[in-house]
Amino acid sequence: MPRITFIHSQGKSGEVPENLTVLEAAEMLGFPMEHDCGGNASCSTCRVEVMVGGEHLSEIDFEEQDLLDREALTEPYHRLSCQAKIHGDVMVQVPEEKWGTTESVKEESETSQS
């Protein structure tokens, strides 16, 4: 079975059945990941950065590419964990804080300055 590693301060690593999505693997290993749209490729809160083993993930389909393009996530290591299926060992980086839109990041920084 493929091994997946989530790089995060509370990250997990473990073997999971092939063809699970990265998000499903996280749930199976007890690692909570954001997934605001429920895995429907419409929110991008589940996105990860693939550090190792990108070639062991399923190809990016039209829906995933469309959302990555709209979010300006054009680097090949950006993937939506709800869409990327695992076919071999992979290591992904998960942000410590929830991904935010430009608006919410701006609001947070304004709030923290006051």
Q: Does 46 bind ligand FES (CB under 6 A)?
A: yes
Q: Please report, as residue ranges, which positions from 4 to 33 form the binding site for ligand FES (by CB under 6 A).
A: none
- State which residue, 25 or 82, has the beta carbon closest to ligand FES: 82
Residues with Cβ within 8 Å of residue 79, at least 6 apart in sequence: 22, 47, 48, 49, 50, 54, 57, 60, 64, 92
- Residue 71: count other Cβ atoms within 10 Å of its Cβ: 16
CA distance 28 to 70: 29
Q: Does 42 bind ligand FES (CB under 6 A)?
A: yes
At its nearest, how many Å lie between ligand FES and the CB of residue 113? 30
Q: How many residues sit in the footprint of ligand FES (CB under 6 A)?
A: 13
Q: Does 50 bind ligand FES (CB under 6 A)?
A: no
Task: Pull the structure tokens for residue 26.
Answer: 């996280």
CA distance 42 to 89: 26
At its nearest, how many Å lie between ligand FES and the CB of residue 30? 18
Q: Does 65 bind ligand FES (CB under 6 A)?
A: no
Give residues in contact with ligand FES (CB under 6 A): 35-37, 39-46, 80, 82
